[in-house]
Chains A and B, each alone.
Chain A
Amino acid sequence: MTIALPAAPAEAPRRQILVATAIASASAFMLIIGMIAMWLKFRAGAPTRDSLDGFKIIKDWMPVSVKIPEVAANVMFTTFPVGALMAQWASYSAKRNDAPHRSLALAISFLIGLAIVNAQVAVYSQMEIGLADGQFQTMFYAITGTMLLLVVGGMVFSLVAFFRSVGGRNNDTDLVNAHALYWYFLTAAFAVVWFVVYVQK
């Protein structure tokens, strides 16, 4: 009778978190695109009227009294790619087993997320609009609030990846790559929100 050692455990599936993050990001992108589509539909359906001089048609969508703080919005728009860049730096460092840089990049990604949240709060406070003030205001809060939640999700992702990194998980390349992918998604999603909601209004 031959006595053999038990078979080694099967190799764990690879890139599972990255694949799941890619699918989840696509799903979340559909969430934002769906909300943008609703925004465009309601904006297109807003009533129109002639201007006082009769030469222009004015669409009553965004109230005249509402002023979008463009500086804060544009700063947010430029901050997102920086967050993605930091996340990519973390991914680059992870690939090279460079733990200090990986941790530093993840920490900066988190801080950038914090800065984006701060900028969004600044936008809200500078606009001084109420959630129930009108159609534009309600939809503005709904879509930007959803985007904010996705950013908070990115911050949590950064924080988890950071703690795992400083905890010595040097084989976390898959997680760090997935983190970078999520930040790319956030950048793309905000680019759409920025263009439609903050620029076109």
Chain B
Amino acid sequence: MTNIDTHVGATTHAQGAGSALVISVGQWITSSDHKKIGRLFIGTSLLSAVLAAVLGLIFGLERISPAHMEIFHGDATPQMFALYQFALVFGVLAPLFVGIAIAVVPTQLGARSIAFPRLAQFGFWAWLFGALMVDISIIGNGGPGGGATDLVDMYLLGVALAAVGLLAGSLSIATSVLTARAPGMTLDRVPAFSWSALVGSIATLLSLPVMIGTIIYVYVDHTHAQLIFGGNKGINSFLGWSLSQPMTFVFVIMALGVLAEVAPVTARTEQPLRPIVLAGIGIISTAVLGAVTQSAHILDWAGTNSDKAKSTLLHSLFNGLPLLGMLVVVLLSLLCLKVGTPRVTASFALSLLGVLMIIVGVLGNGLYTFKSASLDGTVFSEGIVLYIVYGGLLSALGALSHWAPLLWGRAFDNIKLLGLALIGLLGTILASFPLYIAGFANQPANIVMGFDYDGPVALWNVLTGLGHALIVLTVLGFVGLLIDAVRNGESVSQEASA
């Protein structure tokens, strides 16, 4: 039997049965065309990126003057922080790469469509409705720590539904890579991005169910007993790990695949030591071990030598190995430039800068989990998430510009996009790095009022807010360039980017 949809994107409505707009919208909603599903994921994720960056900007403004300025009142602050974190990780990072993979992977494999296109379509709508449920519940005072009990239930269901959607998308991607490859394309011959999509999807499929299991417990307890998990206030204690490291490492595996894919094209050569690049991407998936154990594994050099060795080993296993994998991919991508005849392309700049930002985030996580650094509970953790999410965003924009001919039949203006890449880089650094510094100064996490420390409090938070504003500008600028390319750009053959 076959699961390939051979009528993808076909018009099923009679012409004249309604306006062209209604028909078009209907086709988008019901389409099982993998490119359309992927673009739905991508478009909504970019919208979510703007929302998250605007929230970051507001928090930056609030924290400029922690004694006086208050935009979100009382219980609203922790809930808006929950929305901010959810939007960053489950609204931007994870779905953006799932969307790109759904759109691109089948074309790389030589498949007619993605495996189980209806499942991928279900994945998008489940994720979208889950995310909307989260948004609505938090706006209605139902987020973690919120007062509206029914809406807190809705928040939990929303997070679970969004996770189910991502799982459905990941299942389609992984099954496609494993079963829908063109004849002769063995697994070691698949393009680097498809390989990273396989690794990232499997990693997601093994780690997100653990979060769903936790949500089931918390939901059952919350709706019936509120005895175990601390009611509304305790939700983040049990679900917070899914919005932080090393879970975020799992979601950026495909960013490394993008770099490994774009680098040889930029250098106009074959990737040297390609199996090692694929192995490097595979090594990053060891982050799953940290994710499923819901632990960051603190590096503590206290106690006996045996204690130190044990702590170092675990820390290296859960934090060092993903970093090693990333470094391998970056170094071999740079080696590509050395052996080839490179040209400056915006897609390469975006993907490389994005991955470098991710690496800064991973290094920051290594420091954050070093007990002697005493960074626990500070905004340092927010800086790590921002480095990883905005780094992932830059990398995803690089992927979109690289595969724009495939997805939209148009190429981006390289020069304008290079400028945007620099703005994005500046935005990422400004949004994240001041939080690293403020973390060392003990600025508390998830709090906007009632803190003080020696140092220029206002400066760090102004810079952070500015960084978020630049990210908003980057995303909107990218969308603007895309619209411009689609409307006015010259048609480009799909093979140009395949």
Contact = CB atoms under 8 A, between A and B. Distances in A.
Interface of A: 9-10, 12-17, 19-20, 23-24, 26-28, 30-35, 37-38, 42, 131-135, 138-139, 141-143, 145-146, 169, 171-172, 174-175
Contacts of A35: 213-214, 216-217
6 contacts: A13-B115, A20-B175, A23-B205, A31-B213, A34-B292, A146-B213
B14 interface: no
Nearest to A14: B179
B186 interface: no
A19 B205 contact: no
A163 to B, nearest CB: 14
B216 A17 contact: no
- Interface of B: prevailing SS: helix
Contacts of A172: 1
A56 to B, nearest CB: 26
Contact of A27 (B112, B167, B179, B180): B167
Given A132-B225, A138-B224, A20 B171 contact: yes
B227 A20 contact: no
A134 B205 CA distance: 32
B179 A32 contact: no
A47 B115 CA distance: 50
A145 B180 CA distance: 36
Contacts of B220: 131, 138, 141-142, 145
A40 to B, nearest CB: 13
A160 to B, nearest CB: 12
Nearest to A11: B183
Contact of A16 (B3, B6, B202, B205): B3
B498 interface: no
A13 B2 contact: yes
A143 B4 CA distance: 36
Given A17-B3, A20-B116, A146 B216 contact: yes
Nearest to B208: A27
A154 B4 CA distance: 24
B206 A30 contact: yes
Contacts of A15: 179
A174 B171 contact: no
B209 A27 contact: yes
Contacts of B216: 35, 142, 145-146
Given A34-B214, A35-B216, A23 B3 contact: no
* Most A C-beta atoms less than 10 A away, residue of B116, B167, B225: B225
B213 to A, nearest CB: 4
A26 B227 contact: no
Interface in B157-209: 167, 171, 174-175, 178-180, 202, 205-209
Contacts of A141: 220
Contact of B1 (A12, A34, A142): A12
Given A26-B206, A32-B213, A16 B175 contact: yes
Contacts of B209: 27-28, 30-31, 34
Given A16-B179, A172-B1, A174-B1, A138 B227 contact: yes
A168 B228 CA distance: 51
- Nearest first, the 5 closest Cβ-Cβ pairs linking A and B are A12-B2, A34-B210, A31-B209, A34-B213, A132-B225
A169 B2 CA distance: 13
Given A34-B213, A135-B227, 4 more contacts: A20-B175, A23-B174, A131-B220, A142-B216
A169 B1 contact: yes
